Amino acid sequence: MSCECKGPTPRWSTLASKPASSVIRDLLKLAARPEVISFAGGLPSPEGFPVEAVAKACQEVLATQGKQALQYSMVEGEMILREQIAKRETMKGIPTTADQVYIVSGSQQALDLLARVFLDPGDKVLVESPTYMGALQAFDLVGPRYVELNCDEKGLNPAAFGEECRNAKFAYVMPTAANPTGLTIDEDRRALLAQKAREYDMWLVEDDPYGELWYEVEPPKSLRYWAPERTIRLGTLSKILAPGFRLGYVIAPADVLDKFASMKQAIDLCTAAFTQRVAGQTFSDDVLVEHLPNVRARYAKHAHAMLDALAEFMPEGVTWTNPIGGMFIWVTLPEHMNATTLMQDVLAQNVAYVPGEPFYANKPEVNHFRLSFVTVDPEVIREGVRRLASVIKAHI
């Protein structure tokens, strides 16, 4: 029975007592109104979810391995899925065995495990600027000290890295179609990043949820290829299959995986065996062979619709990134403008984006916002960008 009455104030932990950043949360609540053309979401498009193939895989799993599927799993994960993930990594040119792959409950859990396994309060963590806000939220569990890495219009710029990298616990990097910028680091920069990692003795955390969602051009090899001995690679099924599975994975040297496993055991014992086996079955049924090209084509179409609309409607002085894959475009307004305060007027036109502020670890730059395009129809994207551009024009 739920209690509607107000009880005494609980004795919160220090972490829970921190005030939540309410301005952006309130704005995003308004963005959820049905009449709003929302470029604020970060969800994959449900249009292409392979519902029938998953239903078939569920039946197959229950019929052939029902008892194991309904049992607890091993903390490392179910072998069928680990093998399939290892096979995909190997296909991408980086030989990987199933015992190098541990399953987690979404890659967000891996970010939480990183905080628990690597960080003490005040420890140095290197991040891109801007970076994924969900990673900052996970690392904030421990209260690290963030150092923002040098980035330019091509993303992370390792040529400029220096002593600030020394003694960091790790550098958290999204090399491909990053959230929020959509930028992809080229091959030369990846190789140089590996070199710098060795020079400054830093571990690399490669978060790669969007690496398989390229449009026309395949991205360069993963960071793990360049520095396997010091890369912790995070992947997820959320964007290549569906986030409802809540399945992600970590590929890393054995001692890191062991620490992750003992920490994970204390959190949730294991990830659900059932979803792992169903996902493993969909992989074995070759569902991705057809499904992934469809997702790539759909996302490319939406990205082009948004890029065309931006080129058509945005006034001079506004710039944006040109992603080769993924779900996001990062827009930069003239420096005197503030995307958080502008959002009120944008919402009044029934359009929404995510203001850039929460994506910064230290000092937010306020003249940016993130656009997400995969859940909005191409014709609607054009209308949304037209309205957005007219508000920006009025403010410029």
Ligand X SMILES: Cc1ncc(COP(=O)(O)O)c(C=O)c1O
Element housing 206 (H / E): strand 204-207
**Does 209 participate in binding ligand X (rule CB under 6 A)?**
yes
User: Considering beta carbons, is residue 110 or 366 the nearer one to ligand X?
Assistant: 110
Least distance to ligand X from the beta carbon of 292, Å? 16
Site for ligand X in 4-43 (CB under 6 A): 42
3-state secondary structure of 232: strand
Least distance to ligand X from the beta carbon of 306, Å? 18
Cβ atoms of residues 250 and 104 within 8 Å: yes
Return d(Cα 233, Cα 302) in angstroms, integer.
28
User: Considering beta carbons, is residue 106 or 158 the nearer one to ligand X?
Assistant: 106
User: Considering beta carbons, is residue 47 or 199 the nearer one to ligand X?
Assistant: 47
Query: Mask: binding to ligand X, 131-160, rule CB under 6 A, as x and -?
Result: -x-x--------------------------
Cβ atoms of residues 37 and 352 within 8 Å: yes
Site for ligand X in 232-271 (CB under 6 A): 236, 238, 243, 248
| Chain-centroid distance, C-alpha 53 | 25
Return d(Cα 181, Cα 130) in angstroms, integer.
8
Torsion of Cα atoms, 42 then 55 then 106 then 292, to 10°:
-60
**Does 182 participate in binding ligand X (rule CB under 6 A)?**
no
User: Considering beta carbons, is residue 220 or 389 the nearer one to ligand X?
Assistant: 220
Least distance to ligand X from the beta carbon of 272, Å? 14
Strand partners of residue 248: 104, 236
Site for ligand X in 40-59 (CB under 6 A): 42
Site for ligand X in 157-176 (CB under 6 A): 174
Amino acid in the structure at residue 174: M
Least distance to ligand X from the beta carbon of 386, Å? 27
**Does 100 participate in binding ligand X (rule CB under 6 A)?**
no
Element housing 312 (H / E): helix 287-313
Return d(Cα 341, Cα 23) in angstroms, integer.
10
- Contact positions toward ligand X, by CB under 6 A? 42, 106-108, 132, 134, 174, 179, 207, 209, 236, 238, 243, 248
